[in-house]
Amino acid sequence: MGNLFDAAKPKDAYGNDLEAECFVEPTTQHGREWGWKPAKLISIDPNSFSVQFDNWSTLTYDITAISFYGLRRAIVDKFGRNIKAQMKVKTSNGATGYVTMCNEKDAQFFFHGTIRLYRQPDIMKYGIVIDNVETKARACVGCT
């Protein structure tokens, strides 16, 4: 796993730069067995970092927890769900599109014939959410 901290920028367990307001997710058994979902990185310094969990408080960890939990930077939608390529998405103003590419720092979206590259703050600003039929209530066919 990657270098946890260097003079330039702190890194996740896989060598990706970490910065405030990005999201991280666990990749080792230690984090997965707790049912961790992606959490927002609030602050980071050479000795510790603080993350904010959805519906939880902000917790501060020793910097060695990055490798213990295998924390990896992630791109998430407005509700904290992981964004992956080929997912259907929509914005807060109702525009629909698809994810064409996604990595640890940004995601590329196709909206109405235009390709846009957004980082995490942009995704939150535009209220981008995964538009998945499984997340919507289903109507009973033939019910009266």
Q: How far apart are CA 112 and CA 4, in angstroms?
A: 40
pLDDT score for 133: 54
Whether 63 is in a domain gets the answer yes
Whether 138 is in a domain gets the answer no
Q: What kind and span of H or E run contains 118?
A: strand 114-119
Whether 2 is in a domain gets the answer no
Whether 58 is in a domain gets the answer yes
Q: Quote the domain boundaries for residue 96.
A: 87-129
Whether 96 is in a domain gets the answer yes
Same domain, 30 and 66: yes
- pTM value is 0.79
Whether 142 is in a domain gets the answer no
The tens digit of pLDDT for each residue in 80-137 reads 999 999 999 999 999 999 999 999 999 999 999 999 999 999 999 999 999 975 544 4
Decide: helix, strand or coil at residue 100.
strand
Whether 14 is in a domain gets the answer no
Same domain, 67 and 108: no
Whether 113 is in a domain gets the answer yes
Q: Count structural domains, the chain.
A: 2
Question: Percent of the chain, pLDDT > 70?
Answer: 83
Centroid of chain to Cα 138: 27
Question: Of 52, 74, 96, which residue is a domain's last?
Answer: 74
CB burial of 27-49 (b: ≥16 within 10 Å; e: otherwise) equals beeebeeeebbbbbbeebeeeeb
